[in-house]
Every structure is written in structure tokens, then in C-alpha cells.
A = this chain, B = another copy of it.
Amino acid sequence: MIRKSLLFFLISSLSLNAQKENGLNKQINKIYLEALTQGKSYDWLDHLTNQIGGRLSGSLNLKRAIKWAKEELEALPLDSVWLQSVMVPKWVRGTFEYANIESSPGNTINVNICALGGSIATPSVGIRANVVEVKHIDDLIKLGKEKIKDKIVFFNRPMQAELVNTFEAYAGGVDQRYSGAAEAAKYGAVAVIVRSLNFRLDDYPHTGVMSYGDLPIKKRIPAAAISTNHAELLSSMIALNPKLRFFIKQNCKNYPDVISHNVIAQIKGEVSPEKIILVGAHIDSWDLGDGAHDDGAGVVQSMEVLRLMSLKDFQPKNTIRVVLFANEENGLKGANTYSKSVKKDKEQHLLAIESDTGGFTPRGFSFDTKEKYLNKILSWKPYFEPYLIHLFERNGSGADVNLLKGDAMVLAGLKTDSQRYFIHHHSEMDTFDQINKRELELGAATMATLVYLTDQLGLE
């Protein structure tokens, strides 16, 4: 009899498990169906990019975007929507930058540059100087002050095309942009020009944040990015004429910090309202394009996750919260403020996931968490397979949610097919027309699925 009841117990629990799995599979199917046929993310992104546009920290456009996002979230059946005040840097590009290569007096070729975010201006008459080309910051030591003083340093190390993971190639090249000016200034350089972080040879300069570190204000020098085509041109011209001169003029400016806001909205959990599942993205962007991939896509996908979870089919057990962070691009001040408030209020986050790898087809996630939580999440892989989600990486999340390390059980990032990402990233080419509706919607559905599974199954 014992055996029989054990068998019965086993059969019933197996069948209960199978029923549960089946139920979850059906719910996930509803998520994808809704996102792909009734989704709001694409129309939202159309408005955010085409009606608002680029939204650099401290700009009126970022204010407009924050107001718009708050209103759109207030129109959803959520429990609360609020703004969290954040002080953010204000850097403005000013009038268009201008540069040329002067191969001999009077013989000039115009080239495409843009100031790096945080850079100072040139004098109003511009800077004209000889150029010294380097591949690495380390090359500065080898060259020494003598060869660098009064010159423009041209950092020209391309992204490594052979790296399939494009973010790895980006990480391998970004030091030139971030620290190039601070380092070159120490050797007496008068300005720096940095090859744009773009695999493709094209005509668009790509901006991005730079830092002078602890360099005194008086020692700072202007920094600009040059398009990959013109980096190649400059390099080949230097090879023919090492004495050529480069002219650069830009009038960007740093202002004192101004007030901005994180946009926060949530559905209160029915069972454990004190436990929070956060889905987020950054609402600021660079100013050259309209910030469709970086990170308009993440903003509307996060809003869509909250919309999906607000549908009557779902009814989350835990609180589902969206945070649209201000100022990821040049300061992370939004994420900083949010993480401080989490610590102060002792808020408990189960999962904090960010979408900030462009609105391309989702491939999976990166996770930063303890082995036991990761193993739990890995056991969910079969739920994702029908939707062609296979990538479950370790040791990564997103720049904003990363500041919740220690405060959230799982940090995560949506990983997309990013082969095209650096064509657009921080450039004029980051525009709405480069977004595919289905790819955007699939990203939202994929994040919503992770959120839903975490909500329903827990992490313990």
C-alpha cells in the first residue's frame, strides 16, 4: 500500500508539475502574442524619437521626454507613477564642429568630427597644429613630451573586427575616447582626435563621454571624434606628409549641474508587494541622432513590460517597477540616486534588468548574481527556446542596474544581436528608421518573460 500511494504521489506531483509548466508556457505565449500583435513599443518609440528626439542630460528635450514618459505611464492601469529628482551634468555641443586637414598652405580637405561629451571648446579661432598618430595610450610614454608637445594627438586604433562580441571590441577601444585627452594633455598635446568606435568605414563621427580625470582646468585640451573614413584618410595623409596640419574648431561647454528626474512607475505585487522586480533603461541619450537604439528602444521596451504585466492575465505576486534612468551617458547620476534611495529605504530587489544594447533581435541575457540564483534561472531555459532565446551569459548586466550590486539578488541585461549596433551608437545614424518593429517587440516580450518567470517561480 505504501508503494502504491508513493506511486500515486509521484504521478500526481509529476502531473502537477507538468500542469504548472504548461500553464507558464501558455502565459509566455500570451506575452509574445500580445507584444507582437498589440504591442505599444514601436509607436511609443516613434513619438520619443521623431516628436521629441535626442535628449542629452540637461537639455530641454530630456525634460520633454521625462514629461512624456510620465504621462504615458500614467495612462496605463498601474498603481503609482512618480519622478525622482536627480542632479545631472549639463554639457552642450554649441554650433557645429569644424575640422580640416591642411596638407600644404591653402590645400585643405574638410573632415567630419564631433566634440566628445565633456570636452572643452577650442579657442574661438580654432587650433591648427601638426598631428602625431598613435594606436595606444601607452604609445604616449614611448613618444615622450618632445614629440607630443604642441601637437594634436590622433588616437587611431580600430575596433577589433574579429571579435564576434561587439561590446568586447568596444570595451577594447573605449580607453582612447575616455582618457585620451587627459593623458595626451600631460605630454603637452594641444588637442586630441579619436577614431570613432565603429567597425564600419563610413562618414559619421561617434561621440561619447570623456573625462579629464583630476587634470586641472587650465591643463585641459579639446577632444573630438573623427569618422572612420576620415581617420583612414588622415592616417594615409600623415604617412605621405608627416608635417601636415590639422585644424579643429568646436565651442562646446560645460555648465553647472541642473535638476532632472528618474521616471518610476509600478504595479504593486498582490502577494509580496515589498519585493521588487525592476526593469529599466536610460531615458537620456546623446544629441547627434534621436537615440532610437541607445536607449530609446530600452525605454519603450521597459514601458511595454510594465504594460504587459498590467494586463488582467498576469497579476504579479511581487511589485513590478520600471525605472527610466536619467543621465546614463555622461554621469550615471540617475542610477546613483536610485541606488542610494534603495539603500536608504532598505528596498528589496529580486531582479533588476536593463535593456541597453539596441533594439535588435534579442538573443538572451547576461547575469550578475550568485551561482544558486543563476542555476535557478538556467533551469528556465526551456521556456525561452521556442522564442529563439539561447544566450544565458555570466558576469554582465547594465550600466545603470549595476549600481544595485549588493542590493538586488539578480542583476541582468538584455543581450541582443549587436553586429549592427556600433554603426548607430552615439552618432547621427542612431535614428528611428533603423529600428525593426518585430525585433523591438521581441526584446520587450523576452524581458517580460524573464520578469514573469521570476515573479511566478521566485529565485530561491
Q: Give residues in A with beta carbon < 8 Å to B.
A: 32-33, 36-37, 161-162, 164-165, 199-200, 361, 363, 386-388, 390-391, 417, 419-420, 423, 436-439, 442
A363: contacting residue among B36, B161, B388, CB under 8 A: B388
A417 touches B361 (CB 8 A): yes
CA of A161 to CA of B37, assembled, Å: 6
B391 touches A419 (CB 8 A): no
Residue of B nearest to A388 (CB): B164
A419: contacting residue among B32, B361, B419, B423, CB under 8 A: B361
B residues near A423, Cβ cutoff 8 Å: 436
Oligomeric state, in copies: 2
A436: contacting residue among B33, B37, B162, B420, CB under 8 A: B420
With A388-B363, A388-B391, A390-B391 in contact, is A33–B162 under 8 Å at CB? Answer: yes
CA of A388 to CA of B200, assembled, Å: 21
The contact sample of 18 A-B pairs, CB cut-off 8 A, is A32-B164, A36-B164, A37-B162, A161-B438, A164-B386, A164-B388, A199-B437, A199-B438, A200-B437, A361-B417, A388-B391, A390-B390, A390-B391, A419-B436, A419-B438, A419-B439, A419-B442, A423-B436
A442 touches B164 (CB 8 A): yes
B residues near A37, Cβ cutoff 8 Å: 161-162
CA of A199 to CA of B436, assembled, Å: 11
B439 touches A388 (CB 8 A): no
CB distance from A357 to the nearest CB of B (A): 13
A162 touches B36 (CB 8 A): yes
CB distance from A379 to the nearest CB of B (A): 17
CB distance from A454 to the nearest CB of B (A): 21
B residues near A417, Cβ cutoff 8 Å: 361, 417
Further pairs besides A164-B386, A164-B442, A419-B439: 19, Cβ < 8 Å: A32-B162, A33-B162, A36-B161, A36-B164, A37-B162, A161-B438, A164-B387, A165-B388, A199-B438, A200-B437, A361-B361, A363-B388, A388-B391, A390-B391, A417-B417, A419-B436, A419-B442, A420-B436, A420-B438
CB distance from A176 to the nearest CB of B (A): 20
CA of A203 to CA of B164, assembled, Å: 35
B residues near A32, Cβ cutoff 8 Å: 162, 164
CB distance from A386 to the nearest CB of B (A): 7
Identify which of A33, A419, A420 gathers the most chain B CB atoms within 10 Å of its CB. Answer: A419
Closest 9 CB pairs of A and B: A390-B390, A33-B162, A36-B162, A419-B438, A36-B161, A361-B417, A419-B439, A164-B387, A361-B419
CA of A439 to CA of B361, assembled, Å: 13
B residues near A165, Cβ cutoff 8 Å: 388
A420 touches B439 (CB 8 A): yes
B residues near A388, Cβ cutoff 8 Å: 164-165, 363, 391
B residues near A161, Cβ cutoff 8 Å: 36-37, 438
CB distance from A168 to the nearest CB of B (A): 11
CA of A162 to CA of B31, assembled, Å: 10
CB distance from A308 to the nearest CB of B (A): 14
CA of A354 to CA of B429, assembled, Å: 34
CA of A442 to CA of B165, assembled, Å: 11
CA of A386 to CA of B161, assembled, Å: 15
CA of A162 to CA of B390, assembled, Å: 19
CA of A423 to CA of B436, assembled, Å: 10
CA of A433 to CA of B42, assembled, Å: 24
